[in-house]
Structure 1
Amino acid sequence: MRHNRDEKRFDRRVGHLRCMLANMTNSLFLHGKIRTTLPKAKELRSLAENMITLGKKGDMSARRRAIAFMRDKTVV
């Protein structure tokens, strides 16, 4: 049962959802803006803010966490 879950699944499997959000985050940081639906944008906002916070820390642990999520070293 879905009692009090914060994450939305957008009718996708969890692996596909994570990949979709990681790709959208990469596109946002590469191009500065993206075109998407409002619910996806709201879900993406918290992830992008978390990646920005990791970038501000700047230590190696934060870089590794960002690379693990976004899977693209050029963006990090």
Structure 2
Amino acid sequence: MRHKCRIAQLGLPADQRKALLRNLTTELIRHGQITISQARAKALRKEVERIITLAKDGSLASRRQALGYVYDKKLVHVLFAQAPERYGNRNGGYTRIIRTVNRRGDNAKMAVIELV
């Protein structure tokens, strides 16, 4: 039974889902904004906010945790350099999800997720 287990399955096995979220997190940090389905955007929000919180902390342990999750090593160094001044006075809410038009092929709900 899955009662009260509220994790977005995204129609993927656990290993593929984790790899997808790691890849989307890396690309969102790199580009600042990506267009994906609404369900993926909601699942991605949790991961990105966790990585930015680690970057705000700035300790060696948090840097190693971020390096273990984000695929690009240089991107982590840039994030840790910019996060304290960009998000220093903000307690969470580092991403914004904006709904857009449905996808043409399968009418899936689409959204733009961006860093604030």
* TM-score for the superposition, normalised by structure 2: 0.63
Unaligned runs of 5+ in 2: 77-116
Q: Which position in structure 2 is the counterpart of 1:20?
A: 20
Q: Which position in structure 2 is the counterpart of 1:48?
A: 48
Which residue identity lines up with residue 26 of structure 1 in the other structure?
T
Displacement after TM superposition at 1:19 (Å): 0.5
Unaligned runs of 5+ in 1: none
Query: How many residue pairs are counted as aligned between the two chains?
Result: 76
Greater Rg, structure 1 or structure 2? 2
CA distance, structure 2, for counterparts of residue 70 and residue 45 of structure 1? 14
RMSD: 0.9
* TM-score for the superposition, normalised by structure 1: 0.94
CA distance, structure 1, for counterparts of residue 68 and residue 58 of structure 2? 15
Q: Which position in structure 2 is the counterpart of 1:68?
A: 68
CA distance, structure 2, for counterparts of residue 49 and residue 31 of structure 1? 16
Structure showing the higher helix proportion among its residues = 1
Structure showing the higher strand proportion among its residues = 2
Q: Which position in structure 1 is the counterpart of 2:30?
A: 30
